[in-house]
Structure 1
Amino acid sequence: MYLNSKDIIETMNKHGVRGVHLGSWRCTTEVHNGVKQIGSEEKKLKDHIEVNQTDFLKKMSKNMDYLSLRGISGIVEIPASIGRLDYLMILDLRSCHNLEKLPQKPSRLKAKALWFPYLEVLDISECYLLDYMPKWVCELPFLEVLKGFVVGSLGNKNQSCSLGDLSNLKKLRKLSIRFTIDNLGPEVFRGFNSLNELSVLTITWRQNKEIPTYSLPKYIEKLDIRCYPEAEVLSKLQNPGELTNLKRLYIRGGNLTTIPCHDNWQVEILRLRFLNKLVYPTDWEGLRRSFKKLKYVEYVGCTKPMNFPNDGHSWNNEE
């Protein structure tokens, strides 16, 4: 499907819309043997949405509070004019695969002037051409959900946002991070564990790189680890005993040989996917001893422990 920029502008002006969703609603819905799969090539073609120009982004209503461009191809850059949407609460740019750059805050604005002063949700996940975050991302006073934050090496230090700068986001409760740099120094994580409101954290690591010691925000309830490049997590994590609220632990891909666990954790849901090198614990009894409050376990694409119940890919204590 190809969207015409002129038609979009005419429709918005005619109806005075406050919310615009131009992208795809479709998510990964097909399920085979309990595993969600990407849709068929035919469905992908039907879902393809592309714009010929992005002029409509410069002519959005100032009263708009919702904008989704999810999955739209052809958007390389978001214009700085979008920052004038003072009432915008949700900005969804997920899966805009051509997106290379988020806007920079204009220099003519005062240093303390806010962009998007009411923004609560910013989704830039699966935008793989982005390699750094502009500074204004860490200056959003009401931001609660930030998906796709990039820790990279490009960009002017005075204009880019670091992982430690996220400590300025006092209301942030859900965060996903993607590392793109080859060498991680300890300074990358400085101040990161001060995110006291954060409850959901997803980290996608860069493969085959050494990880320095680091600490996580101590009140997280869900931790999703993806593509972890080393054999163990706890050897580099400095504060595992502080994660006393942790109830959901998801691990997907990577080189882990041991499932991370600590006596202070309260994990109830454990999801393990595509861990080809996983060897410990080797038996079901050992897993239950490590996670005493388990209610649900899922093994997909990795070797299950001996005596795993029902010879299936998951276990629920209500069965």
Structure 2
Amino acid sequence: MSIPTNKMKAVALLLKRVKTARRQFRERGRDESLDGNLEKLRRELNKIRKLFEKVKNNEQELLHTLSKVDGHLRTLDSKRLNQDMNDICKRIRDSAQKLLPKGDFDDSSGEEDDDRRVILLHPSRPSSKQHKNQLPQHKKLNMNLRVLETYERNCLLSLLVFPEGAVIKKRQTIYWWIGEGFLESTELKTAEEEGEDVIDKLLKSNVILAYGNRECPIVNKFQINPLVRPKLVILSRENHRSYPFPLRIPYSHIRSKWSVLEQKKVTLGENSLKPESRINTIFNVGASYLNFGSQWLDKSIQNLKVLQLGRWQDSPSHHIEVGSEKFLQKLQNQKNLTYFSLRGISRISELPPSITLLERLQILDLKACHNLETLPNDISSMKSMTHLILSQCYLLEGMPKGIEKLTQLQVLEGYVVGNSRKSPQRISELANLKNLKRLSIHIGSEAVIKEGEFESWREMLALEQLKISWGVSCKGYSDIKVILPLRLKRLHLEGFPGDEIPEWLKPSKLPEGCKELKLMGGMLKSMNHEDNIGWRMEIVRLMYLKHLKLELTNLSELFPLLRYAEIKQNSKRTQMLSLN
């Protein structure tokens, strides 16, 4: 079908064809340059869609240009689209300018995401931990890489294991660095806090660039500055005797202490993929299908510290599966293993009891193991554990015994509150974890919570970040009296079943240092409260609260200290929350 002469239909049809063309080109093989050009075209067409509402005359020239664009898209002429895109967009812009009085054509994007609004109310100069903008890729390096401390250089150069342009998760990377031994706790800071400082330093010097929402003051993901990466390769060559791992450079050590899995299908324990006795790290960079030979870890291997089999990729859709979970039985002899990640791996239903023999294991990451149903009955022997990550393991119905005895725990994510039969542990016992800084709990459909169970949380003086999610919509669970730790800084509530703000969430009940609030899903209808003061939060995220009645103008009244608010609603609520 040719381009219609009706101007509104013409733009609508072209937008549809741009979408189709992008999909078809991606199926042929992703071309970043072409995809970027088509995105540029889509934005120009969106501007035109609004302008056509004002246009009454002199539209033939513009339609003629659009017809040419339509021809390129229908024939999937990638060469013409790449070569002529700047000229095409300029002709569209020039034609539109002729149709309106001077000044009516806005060269900004003129569009927002259909269901996302970002409101920056009181912007302040961001640090790297609270970083306002994603740095442009042409930002130049302002650090001499050779003056980095040894541990900082180790952290930085290890990032070369990731493919060029990869989006890297900050927290997961820090966990890995801890496992490698690059980071250690000091008298003043935990190893994770030391890692935050390294990331902070690299961000400030433009060695790495924050990735994601440019307005968000918190950095969760980053990329290596493309202008810096070649310098890192040179630095890694200069120091190759000090770095026993392959860093995506033209050569690697004959006896590398690293084994990097890059092929899509991998069988460990066979031929060249049989780990050497000196191996320290096995890192899965690109494998989606993992199989394990019977001797994949024999008794001669005693130095394995890092086993990163799980997903590091930013996208949760990245698939990894194992042929069998029997390979886990071979881990019991790895007494030096400190970091073990199965994040996002399918077809693992049970973690065997032998895993509890890993007494030096510090970080166990099982996030998003969607088939995981069973954990060892008792994990109290794993005294070195500092990070236990069980979030998004939706088939878990209870917790193993002994968690309250892991007194070194700093992070516990995905703690399931079930019934007394499946999970005999009580919430109150978590107060024994005096070093716990980050906690997330999930209140399951059969949860039994006794009166006063949260009272002991007053004693959790180290806890700074707390997430509570509800897996039930019964309002009875909204009446639970939660006692928030005194030094809490960040609070995240997901699926709250009540329709009103509970007593414990009112401004007068919250710790003074709590500066960040995230409410996601649930039945909440109103943010109104009876206190005479507003919330002290500076960062607020309201996500998928389809029942919430909230005017945008109320935000500054409810949160007088607000610096940043992120609101994501379904399409029915979008206009009410729009800045427009």
TM-score range, shorter chain: 0.7 to 0.9
| Equivalent-residue separation in structure 1 for 2:374 and 2:508 (angstroms) | 36
Secondary structure of residue in 2 paired with 1:135: coil
Deviation at 1:267, TM superposition (A): 0.5
Deviation at 1:16, TM superposition (A): 3.4
List aligned pairs for 1:274-293, cutoff 5 A: 274-280=544-550, 282-284=551-553, 286-293=554-561
Q: Does 1:142 align with 2:408?
A: yes
Q: Residue 463 of structure 2 contacts residue 485 of structure 2 at CA under 8 Å; is this kept in 1?
A: yes
Residues 13 and 73 of structure 1, relative CA distance in 2, 3 Å threshold: farther
Count of residue pairs brought into register by the alignment? 284
Secondary structure of residue in 2 paired with 1:189: helix
Amino acid aligned to 2:438: K
Q: Which residue of 2 aligns with 1:5?
A: 292
| Equivalent-residue separation in structure 2 for 1:307 and 1:6 (angstroms) | 56
| Equivalent-residue separation in structure 2 for 1:265 and 1:228 (angstroms) | 18
Amino acid aligned to 1:288: S
Q: Which residue of 2 aligns with 1:70?
A: 343
Q: Residue 445 of structure 2 contacts residue 471 of structure 2 at CA under 8 Å; is this kept in 1?
A: yes
Deviation at 1:6, TM superposition (A): 2.2
Residues 115 and 240 of structure 1, relative CA distance in 2, 3 Å threshold: farther
Q: Which residue of 1 aligns with 2:313?
A: 26
List aligned pairs for 1:236-255, cutoff 5 A: 237=505, 240-255=508-523
Q: Does 1:120 align with 2:407?
A: no
Amino acid aligned to 2:396: L
Amino acid aligned to 2:355: I
Bigger radius of gyration: 2
Q: Residue 2 of structure 1 contacts residue 52 of structure 1 at CA under 8 Å; is this kept in 2?
A: no
Identify the structure with the greater strand proportion.
1
Deviation at 1:144, TM superposition (A): 0.3
Amino acid aligned to 2:346: S
Deviation at 1:19, TM superposition (A): 0.7
Deviation at 1:117, TM superposition (A): 1.4
Amino acid aligned to 1:22: L
Q: Residue 534 of structure 2 contacts residue 558 of structure 2 at CA under 8 Å; is this kept in 1?
A: no
Work out which of the residue numbers 519, 540, 549 in structure 2 matches 1:270. 540
List aligned pairs for 1:1-319, cutoff 5 A: 1-6=288-293, 9-10=296-297, 13-14=300-301, 16-28=303-315, 39=317, 44=318, 47-60=319-332, 61-105=334-378, 114-155=380-421, 160-182=424-446, 184-209=449-474, 210=476, 211=478, 212-235=480-503, 237=505, 240-259=508-527, 263=533, 265-280=535-550, 282-284=551-553, 286-301=554-569, 303=573, 309=579, 311=580
Deviation at 1:167, TM superposition (A): 0.2
Q: Residue 23 of structure 1 contacts residue 49 of structure 1 at CA under 8 Å; is this kept in 2?
A: no
| Equivalent-residue separation in structure 2 for 1:51 and 1:185 (angstroms) | 42
Secondary structure of residue in 1 paired with 2:325: coil
Secondary structure of residue in 2 paired with 1:165: helix
Residues 27 and 76 of structure 1, relative CA distance in 2, 3 Å threshold: same
Deviation at 1:92, TM superposition (A): 0.5
Residues 207 and 241 of structure 1, relative CA distance in 2, 3 Å threshold: same
Q: Residue 23 of structure 1 contacts residue 68 of structure 1 at CA under 8 Å; is this kept in 2?
A: yes
| Equivalent-residue separation in structure 2 for 1:208 and 1:131 (angstroms) | 17
Scaled by the length of structure 1, what TM-score is found? Answer: 0.79
Q: Residue 6 of structure 1 contacts residue 56 of structure 1 at CA under 8 Å; is this kept in 2?
A: no
Q: Residue 234 of structure 1 contacts residue 260 of structure 1 at CA under 8 Å; is this kept in 2?
A: no
Amino acid aligned to 1:24: R
Give CA deviations for 1:256-313 in whole Å, capped at 9, x if unaligned.
1123776374211011111111113x241x321221111101111153696854x3xx
Deviation at 1:24, TM superposition (A): 1.4
RMSD: 2.7
Give CA deviations for 1:100-129 in whole Å, capped at 9, x if unaligned.
1111238xxxxxxx5111111000111111
Q: Which residue of 2 aligns with 1:34?
A: none
Scaled by the length of structure 2, what TM-score is found? Answer: 0.45
Residues 307 and 64 of structure 1, relative CA distance in 2, 3 Å threshold: closer
Amino acid aligned to 1:171: N
Q: Residue 427 of structure 2 contacts residue 454 of structure 2 at CA under 8 Å; is this kept in 1?
A: yes
| Equivalent-residue separation in structure 2 for 1:180 and 1:8 (angstroms) | 40
Secondary structure of residue in 1 paired with 2:388: strand
Amino acid aligned to 2:445: I
Deviation at 1:20, TM superposition (A): 0.2
Give CA deviations for 1:225-272 in whole Å, capped at 9, x if unaligned.
111111123346589524211101001111111237763742110111
| Equivalent-residue separation in structure 2 for 1:172 and 1:50 (angstroms) | 32
| Equivalent-residue separation in structure 1 for 2:357 and 2:346 (angstroms) | 24
| Equivalent-residue separation in structure 2 for 1:238 and 1:266 (angstroms) | 11
| Equivalent-residue separation in structure 1 for 2:515 and 2:506 (angstroms) | 19
Secondary structure of residue in 2 paired with 1:271: strand
Q: Identity over aligned residues, as a percent? A: 31
Q: Which residue of 2 aligns with 1:109?
A: none
Secondary structure of residue in 2 paired with 1:201: strand
Residues 12 and 231 of structure 1, relative CA distance in 2, 3 Å threshold: farther
| Equivalent-residue separation in structure 1 for 2:290 and 2:496 (angstroms) | 39
Deviation at 1:179, TM superposition (A): 0.9
Q: Residue 534 of structure 2 contacts residue 560 of structure 2 at CA under 8 Å; is this kept in 1?
A: no
